[in-house]
Every structure is written in C-alpha cells, then in structure tokens.
Amino acid sequence: MNKMLSALIATCITLSSTPADARDTRLKMPIASAMSKAQSSGKLPQGVRFFFGSQKFASPSRSLGPVTTSRKTNFFNKSDSEGCEWTFLSAMMALGERARALGANAVVGIRSNYRNQEFSSETEYECGAGAVSGGVAFKAEIVTLP
C-alpha cells in the first residue's frame, strides 16, 4: 500500500507541476552581418540581388509575384547569433533559388514574417529563438530589374 500511495503522490506532483518555461524570444538581428556571411559562403545564387524593407531599387521591367519562405534549424549547441544566421542563410537561399527558377534577378521588399507578424527594416531582420530550435520567415516580391 505504501508503494501505491508513493506512486500516486508522485503522479499528482508531476501532473500539477508546471513545465519548465519554454523560451520563445524574438530577436532583431543585423542584416549586414548575416548578409556578409551569406555572400561569403558562396551559397547564394549568383546574379540575384536582394533588397530589404524599403531599400531603393530601379523600376522593375517585370514583376513575378510575391514569395514567402520559412526556415527553421536546431539551435542546440549554437548561440542565438549562429542559429539566426544559419536560418537567415537558408531563407535567403530559398528566395534566391525561387527568383532564379522564375528567370528573375532580384528579390525586393524583403520583410520578416515570423509567426505571421510582419517586421520591415532595411537594417534588421527578425529571428525567433527557442530553447531547442529557431527560425526565420520572409515575405518578398520577385522581379526582374534592368
């Protein structure tokens, strides 16, 4: 009977305790640093230009419509900065590859769209960092520039 009572008490304590707080931090990270690392990685499609927020660009000769991307990665054993830059690269590769597939040469109006909440900036992007994983999501427009 003592073992049953102990097991019942342990179960009640387990069920009534709150789980450890799961981290869900929204970080504003510098585009310049992430873009520099992305470009030096050699993984971005050649000939595709990227414009964030309301950065100026020439009038497009052709607009190929909106595009979205959402990328996640494991943040285990990575700093927030490393994890965010990793997912930034993955998201930028997806945008660039989509532009190339459509025969375009630019992705414009890139803005963060983490958890469907837009954040537009020419200098920062938003990254969601959790206890185990994190992600970057973007919305943009695919165009052909002269």
Mean pLDDT computed over every residue of the chain: 89
Strand ranges in 12-77 using DSSP code E only, listed in sequence order = 24-30, 49-52, 62-74
d(CA 107, CA 114): 18
| Phi, psi for 57 (deg, rounded to 5) | -150, 160
Amino acid at 23: R
- The whole model's pTM is what? 0.83
Is 8 a residue whose pLDDT tops 80?
Answer: no
Beta carbons of 144 and 69 less than 8 angstroms apart: no
Q: What 3-state DSSP class applies to 112?
A: strand
pLDDT tens, position by position, 97-124: 999 999 999 999 999 999 999 999 999 9
d(CA 129, CA 29): 11
- Give 131's pLDDT tier (boundaries 50, 70, 90): confident
d(CA 76, CA 83): 9
